[in-house]
Amino acid sequence: MYKNVESRKQALLDQRAQARREGRESAVEAFLRRGRSAQESLSKRLAILDREETLDRERRADLLVLMRQSVGAPRRVYHFAERPCGFARGRGFAEYLEGDLSDSLDRCSSCRWPMVLEFAS
């Protein structure tokens, strides 16, 4: 039995060493997974911000418009911020770029919108 003790001790130590190797490997794998996941979220977030920047560059030529902020009554029109009609004077209006508004909204017919000259080619 005694001669067996050394080899049993060695087997126990080998077993522990193997468990530590596996523990290190799984710790590194978990770290790498978190790193990849963090990198993916960062890339997605940066891509969203890049798209917003591109949109804003396109919006640079847009008109500044006013839209009523009151809740309740449905909003169907928006007003021209530079020369608003009487309906849009006063508080309760927020400024937007025209391109940010939904297509279901229309320009107020009372505001003095800039003339757009279109040349047929």
Give the interface with Zn ion as residue ranges (CB under 5 A).
79, 85, 88, 108, 110-111
At 74, is the secondary structure helix, strand, or coil? Answer: coil
Tokens representing 11?
């087997």
Between 72 and 86, CB nearer to Zn ion: 86
Distance, C-alpha 68 to centroid of its chain: 26
Minimum separation from the CB atom of position 100 to Zn ion (A): 18
Between 5 and 116, CB nearer to Zn ion: 116
Minimum separation from the CB atom of position 112 to Zn ion (A): 9
- Quick one: which of 100, 12, 24 has its CA closest to 55? 100
Minimum separation from the CB atom of position 102 to Zn ion (A): 17
Q: Are 70 and 94 in contact (CB under 8 A)?
A: no
Between 67 and 108, CB nearer to Zn ion: 108
As a whole number of angstroms, the longest Cα–Cα distance in the chain is: 105
Minimum separation from the CB atom of position 110 to Zn ion (A): 5
Between 75 and 110, CB nearer to Zn ion: 110
| Cα–Cα distance measured from residue 109 to residue 106, given in angstroms and rounded to the nearest whole number | 8
